[in-house]
Structures are given as C-alpha cells and as structure tokens.
Structure 1
Amino acid sequence: MDVRFYRCSHCGNVAVKPYDAGVPLVCCGETMAELQANTVDAATEKHVPAVTVNGADVHVQVGEVEHPMLPEHHIAFVCLVTEKGYQTAQLAVDGAPVADFRVAEGDAPVKVYEYCNLHGLWSVRL
C-alpha cells in the first residue's frame, strides 16, 4: 500500500489520498497539486526520516540532524505507511520532530513520509 499527498497552492492545506477513484482533489476552487517526495533541494540530513523499528513499535525522528521546530519552519506531520494502511501524527510547532507509532499484529511498516512547511514532502522506504 502507498498513499498520495496533495497541497493547495492557495491556503496550504495538505490532503492524504489513500485510494484514487479518478476524481481530482479540489481546495479553494482549484485542483490540488500532488506532492512528490524528496524533490526539493534542501538539507537531506534534516529532512529524511530516521526510523527505528523495534517489534511493533516504530520511532521516527525527522532527520539525522534534528529538524528545527519554529513557527516559520517546522515539520507539520509524519505518516507511517504499512502493508495494510497508514497512520499519521501531527506535530506541535513547539515540540520535537519525532513521532511514535504501533503497528498491529499481522501488519508491517513499509514507508515513512514527513512534511516540512518550507521544503515539502520527504520519505524513506523501510
């Protein structure tokens, strides 16, 4: 399984599309643009998710070098994609750029995405 992410160029809303029925996502009266992971020229050491899997527990730190969490530059969310679905964690601007997930029995982590408000979508396949 994988998911797609879309962003509104007007208001900045980001939407997750786990299934494509062929109908475009619309926000502010216009079609939202699909985000492509790892395409922005930015410091990869601060954006690529660093993931630790310990049994059913998945710990994500954004970047090998911790990403800043400031109102003007922060990680908005982390998304864990598993074989059977996905989970998201919205991050607080004044918190750490980390997220913890628990995977259900019979499921397995596949990929992690994170979204930086300035540098877009980043991912790592597990």
Structure 2
Amino acid sequence: MDCVKIGQLIAKLRKEKNLTQKNIADALGIQSKTVSKWECGLGCPDLSLWPELSTILGVDMKQMMEGEITSNKPDSGNIDKVRFYVCPSCGNILVSTGSASIFCCGRKLERILPVVSSDAIKITAEEIEMDYFITFDHPMTKDHYISFVAYVKTDKIFLNRLYPEQSPTCRIPIAKGGKLYVYCIQHGLVMYSDKDLNQTGKA
C-alpha cells in the first residue's frame, strides 16, 4: 500500500464530506492523531477499519486502498448508451446512461449485455390510444419471470417492473424510433427494435 497516496485521498474525501479528523476518529473509535498520521502518510488504516472507513467517506473500499478514485467519462447525454444492472442479491434494477461503477448489497455489478430480438420471448404489441399495450408469451413463474421492461427513446426511459405470477403485460407511450428491453431472469436481456412493435404481428 502507498500510505502517502492513501493519506492524501483520505484527507481529500474527508474535506469533501465536511468532516474533521475528530469526526472520523470518533466514528471509528480511534484517536484523532491516528487519522492525522494517515493523512500525513505515516501509516495506513488497520485492515479491520477499511469497511467502515469506506462507508463513512462514501467510496469504494478497493479504490481507497489503491489511493486513487477512478473517474468515469462524463455523460455524453446519449440515452442510446443506456446500461442496465440487476443485483443478484436483492433484485434491484439500476440504470446508467454511460460507463459507471455500480454497487448494490456490497457487490460491484456488471452491465447486462443485451441480445438482439430472439425467439426467447415472443411479444405482441397493440396500439391503444397513445400507448403500446404489450403482451409477452411468458410463464411468469417464481423461477422463470420477466423482471423488467424498459422502452428507451431519445432522452427518456420508461421502466416497468414486473413480478412472478403477474400478468405478462405492460403499457408504454408510443414513441417511434425507440428500443424495447425485456429482462427475463433465465434468458437475460433481450432487445427489440421499434419495428418489432406492430399491431398485428409477433416479434
């Protein structure tokens, strides 16, 4: 470990949080001079303190231990680069519009890569007023169900959460030129183009 780099990072993060060395010390149950020594590069935190210290400072523990926080590229504003993440522990659905470090339940999540429209999930789309009413040919059992459906167009994401034993349907606003993403816990993330959403045919 590079104690100098780590100490400089701890000091920077502490000041960003408007915390004093005493605030950090009290939260960790140690003396203020210990925090001061870290920030001067005269030693590194004990391994047992890292999890709580990273929580207090609100950063990834691994990057803290390396003494450097990796910044993502600025969001280009292109919603077409949307990325989806699903926590394997709690099932939370997270979305980013560019490269990002996403964590949930203490784990770093990997982006779910979509596959282009396949036979895994058959869909039927009907136009009702200003919406698409979409029906999925899917069992929706506790062990095999669609977790979410998202429609991405220009600067908007319409996200529908579905649950086991629920009717396999959803409604989304009609917005020509978008992409439909369907995430099944067994088949993964399937992407459909706007042409797949039609009144009479099936994808």
TM-score by length of 2: 0.48
Task: Answer yes or no: is the 8 Å Cα contact 1:24–1:31 preserved in 2.
Answer: yes
| Structure 2 residue runs without a partner (length 5+) | 1-78, 195-203
Aligned equivalent of 1:14 = 93
Aligned equivalent of 2:171 = 100
Q: 1:119 aligns with which of 187, 192, 195?
A: 187
Change (3 A) 1:91 1:109: farther
71-80 or 49-58, which moves further after superposition? 49-58
Bigger proportion of residues as strand: 1
Q: Residues 35-91 of structure 1, C-alpha deviation per residue, up to 9 Å, x if partnerless?
A: 01128xxxx4342544445663122223xxx11111111111111112230111112
Change (3 A) 1:49 1:33: farther
Q: How does 1:47-126 map to 2 (within 5 A)?
A: 47=121, 49-53=123-127, 56-62=130-136, 66-103=137-174, 108=176, 110-126=178-194
Question: Cα RMSD between the aligned structures?
Answer: 2.5
Bigger proportion of residues as helix: 2
Aligned equivalent of 2:102 = 25
| Structure 1 residue runs without a partner (length 5+) | none
Q: Residues 87-118 of structure 1, C-alpha deviation per residue, up to 9 Å, x if partnerless?
A: 11112322221111224xxx545011111112
Cα deviation, residue 34, structure 1: 0.5
Higher relative contact order (CA 8 A, sep 6+): 1
Task: Answer yes or no: is the 8 Å Cα contact 1:49–1:123 preserved in 2.
Answer: no
Change (3 A) 1:99 1:78: same
Cα deviation, residue 9, structure 1: 4.4
Distance 1:8 1:82 in 2: 24
Distance 2:120 2:169 in 1: 12
TM-score by length of 1: 0.73
Distance 2:173 2:115 in 1: 25
Aligned length: 114
Change (3 A) 1:51 1:83: farther
Task: Answer yes or no: is the 8 Å Cα contact 2:120–2:187 preserved in 1.
Answer: no
Identity %: 27
